[in-house]
Structure 1
């Protein structure tokens, strides 16, 4: 019987996955980062590099592949590049906790003025100011998937008023989730808008001048979804006028150019797209890849499949 072949992009991931695999299963691990031609004509599971999978996706027609296992949750732009007869699985279960951690961090930076404290420490300034805080603030959260639920769970102890909004209205986890068409009625009473929406045509520039204009003066926008969900030009204009504050991990364009106004405008905190990039990722992605390999080796279906062609 032919061994199941899995390619991974780094020596570290190869070693980590090898240490988790069931030795009774016939699984071959090969190193391939997509820069050169594939090392085999058939690779059952291809794992692209984290945050840099475009070149590998372009090479997929050169080999037979059953499953592409991404290392991120998002997968916009993948379907049109995936060869027929293959599937794409995302990294659900790997990044939700870390992204929720960062979201809470961004909220605290902005609402407790931690960025201001850092600047004051650099200058040796003792500035005993009163911050806005999180308690009793109304947070409208766009999206109610895995990351959003992890954020909601961590915000509960802060005694905030969390209002979830998603594509359709429903009751879930004991919470009322509002439909997207209800958003205009919810924004005028929001202190904070947290965006956790995925990318794609449906969400492109969803947060535009109209949406931003509905927020009250001084409101905070936190974006841990995707950069293109926000109309950056409109956002810059609102920030420049002092209407909106921003604490964001994702941007459009990205990386944010060094001369972009968001670097220097007051009321902006920039995080360089590191939501899921903590040390927790290493063991979690290895466990996911090893689990997928074992499932396919046993003739079982993989998990987290979001695209089939």
Structure 2
């Protein structure tokens, strides 16, 4: 290795497990320690835009490496010439598990049974099967493929939609044709000018009556007012791990909307995060030191 890399980490400190696998000689610096004048890698603390702004204004950074798959929050702060890489792959497993959990919970009416349990009601009902359902994946990156791997054993037909056409993969231009045919739509898109508000009134009106909408991407991809209307009319049911606004205020009508299951942006939070992040970061820094191409370089906003 011909270079040494200094890595500025976030504060409060990430667990040592995250950088235990880094190549020998890599210097780890934390944000609650004196900042260096230059840093090869900066791992910005997710959602702490002001901290990230200060670092990028005061430290000459070569690579900004997020541990989140989404980078919409850091893009406006990026100085010219800095390489941005996202954390795609780190969160595939837990987000895919959240999608499977939520899809089954909605399909089997778990919220309804919880309510009946709380009221002491014995309320049997005939439940639909997941087998044979058609699920549209709106976003077909590494998380989308992980979702597909977990749903296919249930006998689900997957219809993947991505930005660019390729064999077996649809594009957004196909949505008017696809939406009336599917039983569930899983939103896995990043937030970009093109995706903001993509799931709007027209989109929801094209969905099959009673279809399910799951959002594990970014809240503003879904038009909240349009979703509230569709939920209120009973045209769709939804599971949301992300919302717009976020955090969702206590008095927001989404909390009380019929047919909606809400979790507080936890799909990617898992006990295995540090282990997966450590493997990813060790590989990424090793590539940098060896002069090899970096993984997950952000182009065109994601």
Q: Same fold (TM over 0.5)?
A: yes
- Tell me the residue number matched to 1:16: 17
Correspondence for 1:91 among 87, 92, 105? 87
- Tell me the residue number matched to 1:73: 69
- Tell me the residue number matched to 1:32: 31
Correspondence for 1:142 among 121, 138, 145? 138
Correspondence for 2:211 among 219, 237, 240? 219
Relative to 1, partners in 2 of residues 1:258 and 1:19: Cα closer, same or farther, differing over 3 Å? Answer: same
- Tell me the residue number matched to 2:264: 272
Correspondence for 1:235 among 227, 234, 239? 227
**TM-score, with normalisation over the residues of structure 1?**
0.89
Shift of 1:265: 1.6
Q: Distance in 1 between matches of 2:159 and 2:285?
A: 39
CA contact (8 A) 2:19 2:281 kept: no
Q: Which runs of 5+ in 2 are unaligned?
A: none
Shift of 1:2: 7.8
Q: Write 1 or 2 for the structure with the bigger share of strand.
A: 1
Q: Distance in 1 between matches of 2:213 and 2:75?
A: 30
- Tell me the residue number matched to 1:115: 111
Shift of 1:65: 0.8
Q: Distance in 1 between matches of 2:285 and 2:12?
A: 17
Residue 294 (str. 1) matches residue 286 (str. 2): yes
Relative to 1, partners in 2 of residues 1:231 and 1:11: Cα closer, same or farther, differing over 3 Å? Answer: closer
Shift of 1:199: 0.8
Q: Distance in 1 between matches of 2:154 and 2:140?
A: 19
Residue 169 of structure 2: SS of its match in structure 1? strand
RMSD between aligned alpha carbons? 2.2
1:70-219 mapped onto 2 (5 Å cutoff): 70-171=66-167, 176-219=168-211
- Tell me the residue number matched to 1:304: 296
CA contact (8 A) 1:170 1:177 kept: yes
Relative to 1, partners in 2 of residues 1:305 and 1:38: Cα closer, same or farther, differing over 3 Å? Answer: farther
CA contact (8 A) 1:27 1:297 kept: no
Relative to 1, partners in 2 of residues 1:135 and 1:212: Cα closer, same or farther, differing over 3 Å? Answer: same
**TM-score, with normalisation over the residues of structure 2?**
0.91
Shift of 1:14: 5.4
Shift of 1:123: 3.0
Aligned residues: 299
Relative to 1, partners in 2 of residues 1:179 and 1:295: Cα closer, same or farther, differing over 3 Å? Answer: closer
Relative to 1, partners in 2 of residues 1:18 and 1:222: Cα closer, same or farther, differing over 3 Å? Answer: closer
**1:91-110 superposed Cα distances (whole Å, 9 cap, x missing partner):** 12200111100001110110
Q: Distance in 2 between matches of 1:298 and 1:190?
A: 46
Residue 163 of structure 1: SS of its match in structure 2? strand
Relative to 1, partners in 2 of residues 1:307 and 1:28: Cα closer, same or farther, differing over 3 Å? Answer: farther
- Select between 288-297 and 251-260 the one with higher mean Cα deviation: 288-297
Q: Distance in 1 between matches of 2:163 and 2:285?
A: 34
Q: Distance in 2 between matches of 1:18 and 1:207?
A: 39
Shift of 1:77: 4.5
Q: Which runs of 5+ in 1 are unaligned?
A: none
- Select between 160-169 and 224-233 the one with higher mean Cα deviation: 160-169
**1:146-182 superposed Cα distances (whole Å, 9 cap, x missing partner):** 11111111100111222222223321xxxx2112111
Residue 55 (str. 1) matches residue 50 (str. 2): yes
**1:65-99 superposed Cα distances (whole Å, 9 cap, x missing partner):** 11111010111253332112321111122001111
Residue 6 (str. 1) matches residue 7 (str. 2): yes
Residue 177 of structure 1: SS of its match in structure 2? coil
